[in-house]
Structure 1
Amino acid sequence: MPNEAREAPSWRKREARVAFVFLAPAALGFLVFFAWPMVRGIYLSFTDYDLLTAPEFTGLDNYDRLLADDVFWNSLWVTLQYVLINIGVQTVVALLLAVLIHRLTRSVVIRGIILLPYLVSNVVVALLWYWMADFNLGILNEMLGWVGVDPQGFFGDPDMAIPTIALVNVWRHMGYTALLIFAGLTMINRDVYEAAAVDGASEVRIFFRITLPLLRPVLAMVLIITVIGSWQIFDTVAVATQGGPVDATRVVQYYIYDQAFTRFDMGYASAIAVVLFLILAGVAFAQLKLMRAGESDQA
């Protein structure tokens, strides 16, 4: 017994050293690429910094300027429109896809096909849809012409640009989101479905009374991931519209980029980034609380 007692702490120390070796690269990457840039960005938000000269501390000037910046508030509103369209459509479509896969087939091939758009680069997807939606030569307008509809300026019309960008990204991300939801569906005990079927419950009733309640923790996690990702929309806007027409697609991320690397106003760009971080933190916290993500209805 005494020998075993002495060996136990030694074994735990060796295990801790091995764990540290495996965790060290990830911890170092987090400190270098996330923690330090975040701290640096918060500091720069209180300065006047143009990338060429040393930062000059200005206190809350950048935040005062932000409150009176109509372009910033417009970018926030445009981003919110994008998020509502993108997340609303994407969640519904992905949920239906996941349920269909779960109830009808679990083919790996079908799952791979659904995931294919997500594996394509954001820039490539943006260019592809930009060409397909071209007013004069795009295949989408060509197809509309077959049914007697006039050509549409998908990316050039201020009223259509944001919905178009949102739906393009729905097409790209819905497969990945569907597979996340599908993973949650596989954790639901099939006996529950069999019992409901024996009781004569319809598929619609099973979906709303069994699937959705038991899927709530997974849906909460998926929504947090997708909402945060949607607020960070940049690539499609940068490639297809550059914030136009008339600021109709100037989302917050593109406005930050424009201030930092076009106007070289890094201090003000950092202040906008800090405000965006606070917004995302608040949204994520609200989602966790409202959807009770830490609770499960499965017994």
Structure 2
Amino acid sequence: MPARPSAGAGGGQRRPDDTKLALLFIFPAVIGLVLFYFWPLVRGIWLSFTSWDLLSPERFVGFDNYTRMFADPVFWNAIWVTLEYVVLNIGIQTVVALVIALLMQRLTQSTLVRGLILAPYLVSNVVAALVFFWILDFQLGIGNQLLEWIGLDRIGFFTTEEWAIPTIAAVNVWRHMGYTALLIFAGLQAIPQNLYEVARVDGASELRQFTGITLPLLRPILGLVLIISVIGSFQVFDTVSVTTSGGPVNASRVLQVYIYENAFAQFNFGYASALSVAMLAILVVVTFFQYRITRAGQTDLN
């Protein structure tokens, strides 16, 4: 009687099916995603079509909240203030982080230096905001005392309309630039060094190497950094809340603060939900165009 061929004859042993094990490990994450992301999203969209003050039952009002939102001057001011903050924060932060990453690559790759650069990111937003709020206080802040010592006038960094948003943006740039720099630094590490060697042999200057090699090959990581940073910047809340509370007047009342005030100060959860849906729509549109423009999912490395 001929022997039966072994399981590995002709093609090697069959790999075990790990699908069930994989699903077992994924299941807790899926539960968390549904409970803490998907369900609140659906619930928030539903509440945007209702009038609800937390104490009485929800009352369906259709598109009334959205009609009110489009006619609300404070909402449009909050959009403008948020955009101003996003442009300042992202513009300054990206440039500073790129410079820091390039300096780390050229001058030192010490783990200690990376840790020091990342240190501000480990400080909570509230603590960082309160420290800068004290440093830049108009009367007692050491920052204004230094300005006066060198012969300049004191500046109401958190108390004047023209300085409130730039100051808040600067505080958050200080806190996040190290983290952003390390992301860019990781992208720089992935660029083959032989490309720079060939460019030097051809006589390319440092500027030409930066514009012709570094920036094009950093495009995917820069696109990722911009998408993450823009989403985070639109959601700024704690720094504003503990320093200006949206003032003076509405100069720093960003959209997230306006949503909070409607929900937890006025208990108008229906209108606050409509504002949140508007922010979600803005972020979806901005992220889509950012992804398409930066082509963050593609790379020039072959």
Q: Distance in 2 between matches of 1:168 and 1:205?
A: 33
Q: Give 2:229's aligned amino acid.
A: T
State the partner residue of 1:115: 118
The reply on whether 1:216 has 2:219 as its aligned counterpart is yes
Q: What are the equivalent positions in structure 2 for 1:123-162 lying under 5 Å apart?
A: 123-162=126-165
1:26 aligns with 2:29: yes
Deviations 1:128-180 (A, max 9, x none): 00000000111111111221011110000111000000010000000000000
Equivalences, count: 296
- Compare CA radii of gyration and give the structure with the larger one: 2
* Counterpart residue number, 1:64: 67
Residue in structure 2 matched with residue 237 of structure 1 by the alignment: 240
1:37 paired residue number: 40
Distance 1:264 1:35 in 2: 23
- Distance, in Å, in 2 between the alignment partners of 1:69 and 1:145 is 41
Give me the CA root mean square deviation: 1.4
User: Residue type matched to 1:47 in 2?
Assistant: T
Shift of 1:2: 6.7
Partner secondary structure for residue 161 of structure 2? coil
Query: As a proportion of its length, which structure holds more helix?
Result: 1
Distance in 2 between the 1:202 and 1:28 partners?
A: 54
Provide runs of 4+ in structure 1 moved above 6 Å: none
* CA deviations over 1:214-273 (Å, ceiling 9, x no partner): 100110011000011000000000000110000100000000000000000000000000
How far is the alpha carbon of 1:99 from its aligned partner? 0.9
Equivalent residue number for residue 178 of structure 2: 175
State which of 71, 74, 79 in structure 2 corresponds to 1:76.
79
**1:17 partner SS:** helix
Q: Normalising by structure 2, report the TM-score.
A: 0.95
| Consecutive unaligned residues in structure 2, runs of 5 or more | none
- How far off is 1:289 after superposition? 0.7
Alignment partner for residue 264 of structure 2, among 257, 261, 265?
A: 261
TM-score (norm 1): 0.96
Distance 2:181 2:60 in 1: 47
Structure 1: tracts of 5 or more residues without a match: none
User: In 2, Cα distance between the equivalents of 1:211 and 1:289?
Assistant: 20
